[in-house]
Structure 1
Amino acid sequence: MNSMLAEECYSTVWRPALAAHLIEHTLRSASESTTSSVEVNVVGGEEVQHGEVPYLVEVVAGEHRRSVHDGSEQVMQVKDILLHPEYDAITFKNDLAIIILTEQLHFNKYVQPIQLPPEGVSLPGECMVAGWGPKEEAGEEADIPYKITLPIWSHDDCSKTLEEVFDVTEQMVCAGYEDGGAGACESDSGSPLTCYAASDSYLAGLMNKALNN
């Protein structure tokens, strides 16, 4: 079995400004991400060692191929990261955060917001997840994002199947193939679970955890 858990996103509960490190997919309106522009420069310092300041964050919007800068990227500095006030590090309930940028994003062909569903919406039978995680187990992260359409499980089926390995809360959604073979991986954590209704798409959740049994 290869399944993933996603934390649900509802417009009346929690509106993510940016889906953690997922950048291109989950944005609020430009005005809500705007503060005065701030640039931080270090003069006369020394090179930071890998892992020395893990809390230092920048956001790249419009990224596609990570090894190439093609001009579609918007590199933004982060002013603040606001954790969900009811986040539970044990159960992973409300595993969401808002990233506040120091300046406004410019929406174009490569950077767009995604709408949120109304609270209580019934998800369709299938939704899509995309991310830069490895294409195969123990492989390197992908240079370009990959997408896959996954079946959505009922909450009862999810809870019963995963009860011995994970505590599935009411806010969580399960998606994946029971026989495994394809799906999202742990490195795709934070990726958007995108569902479609007619011609519109909406953010149903953010990937929380990949489970392999």
Structure 2
Amino acid sequence: MLGHSALITVLLGLLQIVSEVQSAQDNVQCGSFDEDNLLKQTRFAYPTEQQWLARITFTKGFEGKIRENGCLGVLISKRTVLAPAYCFVQYNGMAEGFSVHLGVYNKSTPINEPSCDPDGFCVRPAQEIKLAEVAIHPEYDSLTLKNSLAVLTLQREAKLNANVMPICMPPPHLVNQTLVAQTFIVAGLRTAEDLRLKVWVNTHSRSFCQSKVSSLVTSSTTVCGYQNMPERFYMGAPLVGMQVKNHATQNFYLVGLMIDWRWHDNRIMSSFLAIRNYLDFIYQNSDSLIVRS
């Protein structure tokens, strides 16, 4: 099923050890970082990577009328998920958000069932949690997608484990630093493949992106750049950066949410809503967010 049985076998065999060292995981509050996993670039991301990914579902089914038939968000606390407002309010009406799925590794695996390969190694079941409230940014424009941000409140807390963990919020000393000419990571579920994947994103200036792809949705509150692999993600895929302290990387933190992508010269250029511009709105509609200083 996965086409990488040997690697998956090693990976998922290691996951069996996770429960034995769960006390160590409990000490990680957000943005879990593993240097061994950082540079591994395969056709999928490990189940214990980018554990903050959330899949959005709707009352009329998962696909709805969202571009490329899917929408993603990012877990920022046990009861809060960020997602593009576009997923819920479009120019032609409202999309009725229903729930989020956390810990999804294989998008074809039914919810609440383990994701297993032919050799019998399994990833623990994803969690489904219904939505209690959706707060849309008051200045969201459904025509231009400007300020496309929604804060989702869950009906109950997520159960944190090796596969489900919040992302850290941007640390104060990085909030005002440039997002241009940086290297970040975006991870998500893909339109053409089942397994979750991570890719690198090299960011550019807004003017550069518009000169290459004029149709790409950008604004003064976005950051854009080329992906190192031509993979098409569902909208809302989180862009994350790495926070360094004492010459060592200590965690990932949230940079943005994918709101658009376009092909250019056999590459994909993506645009992300920069979260740092919306911290006041997020904090007003959230609780227990984690910032690592």
2:75 alignment partner in structure 1 = 27
Q: Distance in 2 between matches of 1:60 and 1:113?
A: 13
Q: Compare relative contact order (CA 8 Å, sep 6+) and give the higher one, 1 or 2.
A: 1
2:48 alignment partner in structure 1 = none
Identity of aligned residues (%): 26
Q: Is the aligned partner of 1:67 residue 2:108? A: yes
Q: C-alpha displacement at 1:152, in angstroms?
A: 0.9
Q: C-alpha displacement at 1:160, in angstroms?
A: 3.4
Q: C-alpha displacement at 1:56, in angstroms?
A: 4.9
The amino acid across from 2:72 in the alignment is L
1:132 and 1:146 in contact (8 A); partners too: yes
2:238 alignment partner in structure 1 = 192
Q: Distance in 2 between matches of 1:156 and 1:66?
A: 35
Which aligned pairs between 1:122-137 and structure 2 lie closer than 5 A? Answer: 122-123=178-179, 125-134=182-191
| Pair 1:63–1:19, CA change in 2 (3 A) | closer
Q: Is the aligned partner of 1:104 residue 2:157? A: yes
The one-character-per-residue Cα deviations of 1:1-56 (angstroms, maximum 9, x if unpaired) are xxxxxxxxxxxxxxxxx785435xx22322x54xxxxxxxxxxxxxxxxxxx9625
Give the TM-score taking structure 1 as reference length: 0.66
Q: Distance in 2 between matches of 1:56 and 1:94?
A: 19
Gapped regions of structure 2 (runs ≥ 5) = 1-53, 57-70, 81-93, 115-123, 265-293
2:103 and 2:164 in contact (8 A); partners too: yes
Q: Distance in 1 between matches of 2:97 and 2:140?
A: 21
The amino acid across from 1:61 in the alignment is L
Residue aligned with 2:212, SS: helix
Q: C-alpha displacement at 1:209, in angstroms?
A: 0.5
Give the TM-score taking structure 2 as reference length: 0.50
Gapped regions of structure 1 (runs ≥ 5) = 1-17, 34-52, 135-139
Which aligned pairs between 1:6-155 and structure 2 lie closer than 5 A? Answer: 21-22=71-72, 26-30=74-78, 33=80, 55-68=96-109, 69-70=113-114, 71-117=124-170, 118=172, 119-123=175-179, 125-134=182-191, 140=192, 142-155=193-206
Q: Distance in 2 between matches of 1:67 and 1:103?
A: 25
Q: Distance in 1 between matches of 2:104 and 2:217?
A: 34
Q: C-alpha displacement at 1:154, in angstroms?
A: 2.1
The alignment yields a C-alpha RMSD, in angstroms, of 2.6
Q: C-alpha displacement at 1:113, in angstroms?
A: 0.8
The amino acid across from 1:99 in the alignment is L
2:133 and 2:153 in contact (8 A); partners too: yes
Report how many aligned residue pairs link the two structures: 163
